[in-house]
Structure 1
Amino acid sequence: MKYSVITLIVALSFILSGCGSVPITGRKQMLLVSDQEVLTLSLQQYDEFIKTAPLSTDKANTALVVKVGKNIAAAVETYMRANGYESELASYSWEFHLVKSTDVNAFCMPGGKIVVYEGILPVTRDETGLAVVLGHEVAHAVAKHSNERMSQQVAAQYGGAALGAVLSGTSSTVQNLAGAVYGLGAEYGVMLPYSRKQELEADKLGLIFMAMAGYNPSFAKGFWERMSQASGGGVPEFMSTHPSDATRINQIDKDLSDALKYYKGGNTKTSNSSGSKTSDKWSF
């Protein structure tokens, strides 16, 4: 009994010391793994992917991905410096790549390594649609969703009794869990299958981040409606790590008013029915 109490106290001390909160949303999260270890492990996986991934030869679309990504990253960094998160910026080294693939997908690794697949471009259609995608992916990095998921894996697999030992420097244990987090061969082709809660949070933060960068978040709903059509409805929500299309679109409607508070106009470019570009007040 005495041993159990001591074990519980040790486990709780690690959990409490590993608590964090997500910028803007303020949601409390368990972060048991150090940022450096998460970055090291994710960079290994990312480097392996980039070495073999066929990068797009479309110079215009590649440049657009980099442009929009840098716009959003710069806006986020400006916000973080102004709101007490400047110490976090050392964790980010932003990269934006366009990969030659018909997959309708994109992903973000910790530290801001973001990959967009060519297959999603017909759904994004224009610069603002692309900002929806990149805002969402940047949000995953800023909210440390990968660290949170790995921490959940550690806690679930090893429990309170071994938690202290696992986190006291046994990095090989964390490395063994990396495969469950950074799943290059994941069933649905998603490198980081986040939880539904994290996906919805990334949607909300993505709206805000695109707004900070001057892209109109009002266009996000149209993008997700097109994504719904492109996916053919997808799998039932209870079988997926992602929220259903209806859940996602309904939540975006609720989050839009908050995002618009950050919108001042500037970068939004959307395609009209004839395919030409029109400017709006703001870009995501």
Structure 2
Amino acid sequence: MKKLLTALAITLAISGCKTSPTGRTQITLYSDQQMSEMGVASFAQMKEQQPIEADKSTNAYVKCIADHLIDQLPAEYANQQWEVVVFKEPSANAFALPGGKIGVHTGLLEVAKNQHQLAAVMGHEVGHVIAQHANERVSQNSLLQFGLQASNVALQMGDVRYRDAIMQGLGLGAQFGVALPFSRSHESEADVIGLDLMAKAGFDPQGSVALWRNMEAASSERPPEFMSTHPAPNTRIANLQQGMNNALELKQQAWQSGRKPQCK
């Protein structure tokens, strides 16, 4: 039984191996169509449950930034029909989903002071999509559940004492040892992808650093980094600074090519 479960897990993992835009090995078990269907369904549900901003100038401003970013995506994503919605929600947040969906909360517009800072967030969120992070997370959760269930079966078959305590320990180990660091790696990777994307679109990549300083000033107390799904702002800023010279060169190339957004 244990050999069968192990062989099945290895087969699933190998069949879903891919490489992210930054060269990181990924396991994605779901098709692009499946992920798009999930993204479209989730977005439709959000639009039903959350109020939508009706102000034309606000919507035009956000869509202007989105259009400039989308134009610089790989063709398979740039050619999608993207939908951009501004939700009337006070939290400083934005998101992008497979299937060509972007959502921006009005609260973010209070923290992102200009087009460059907002482009940093939106580029980051679109970076999650083109790096297939949603597919990775869903696949990872499936494999974690599979592993925990297999461990539980093995413990039951072996009539192991303290099985419940062992399973609780395995669950915590999976959360803090795999799931959270995995999410932090996604955030860091999306930062890198988003930084280059905004620069290629002609936005000033330095806006990403200013944005995270604003975020840090506006945020309340947060858990220690090792217990969080997101890197600490100082960590993010340091990572962004490492890629800044390259991003500034990309911005200069964009400006020389006439790509200089004026979203207001």
TM bin (shorter chain): 0.7 to 0.9
Query: Cα distance, 1:47 vs. partner?
Result: 0.6
Confirm whether residue 134 of structure 1 aligns to residue 122 of structure 2. yes
Confirm whether residue 208 of structure 1 aligns to residue 205 of structure 2. no
Query: Cα distance, 1:62 vs. partner?
Result: 0.9
Q: 1:89 to 1:12 in 2, by over 3 A?
A: farther
Contact 2:28 2:139 in 1 (8 A): yes
Contact 1:55 1:99 in 2 (8 A): yes
Which residue pairs with 1:40 in the alignment?
37
The alignment partner of 1:29 has SS state of strand
Letter matched to residue 19 of structure 2:
S
Deviation per CA, 1:1-22, whole angstroms, max 9, x where unpaired?
A: xx54454334322211201111
Give the distance between the partners of 1:43 and 1:124, measured in 2 at CA. Answer: 26
Give the distance between the partners of 2:47 and 2:246, measured in 1 at CA. Answer: 36
Contact 2:59 2:86 in 1 (8 A): yes
Which residue pairs with 1:20 in the alignment?
18
Letter matched to residue 262 of structure 1:
L
Deviation per CA, 1:125-148, whole angstroms, max 9, x where unpaired?
A: 111111111101110110111100
Give the distance between the partners of 1:150 and 1:4, measured in 2 at CA. Answer: 24
Which residue pairs with 1:248 in the alignment?
236
Give the distance between the partners of 2:40 and 2:244, measured in 1 at CA. Answer: 33
Contact 2:39 2:101 in 1 (8 A): no
Give the distance between the partners of 1:153 and 1:246, measured in 2 at CA. Answer: 28
Deviation per CA, 1:202-261, whole angstroms, max 9, x where unpaired?
A: 111100000111111122101110111011353322232111111111111112123234
Structure 1: gaps of 5 or more residues: 163-193, 271-276, 278-284
The alignment partner of 1:121 has SS state of helix
> How many residues end up aligned between the 2 structures?
228
Residues 160-175 of structure 1: matches in 2 within 5 Å? none
Contact 1:14 1:32 in 2 (8 A): yes
Contact 2:30 2:135 in 1 (8 A): yes
Give the distance between the partners of 2:148 and 2:226, measured in 1 at CA. Answer: 28
Give the distance between the partners of 1:269 and 1:235, measured in 2 at CA. Answer: 38
Residues 91-130 of structure 1: matches in 2 within 5 Å? 92-130=80-118
Give the distance between the partners of 1:242 and 1:121, measured in 2 at CA. Answer: 21
Q: 1:232 to 1:6 in 2, by over 3 A?
A: closer
Query: Cα distance, 1:89 vs. partner?
Result: 6.3
Deviation per CA, 1:92-148, whole angstroms, max 9, x where unpaired?
A: 442111111211111122223111111111211111111111101110110111100
Which residue pairs with 2:260 in the alignment?
267
The alignment partner of 2:72 has SS state of helix
TM-score (norm 1): 0.73
Which residue pairs with 2:146 in the alignment?
158
Which residue pairs with 1:9 in the alignment?
7
The alignment partner of 2:135 has SS state of helix
Structure 2: gaps of 5 or more residues: 151-181
Confirm whether residue 195 of structure 1 aligns to residue 183 of structure 2. yes
Which residue pairs with 1:60 in the alignment?
57
Contact 2:127 2:190 in 1 (8 A): yes
Letter matched to residue 70 of structure 1:
D
Q: C-alpha root-mean-square deviation of aligned residues, in Å? A: 2.3
Give the distance between the partners of 2:106 and 2:203, measured in 1 at CA. Answer: 21
Q: 1:261 to 1:30 in 2, by over 3 A?
A: farther
Contact 1:19 1:30 in 2 (8 A): yes
Bigger fraction of residues in helix: 2
Residues 81-96 of structure 1: matches in 2 within 5 Å? 81=75, 86=76, 92-96=80-84
Give the distance between the partners of 1:161 and 1:262, measured in 2 at CA. Answer: 48
Which residue pairs with 1:189 in the alignment?
none
Identity within the alignment, %? 36
Give the distance between the partners of 2:48 and 2:149, measured in 1 at CA. Answer: 40
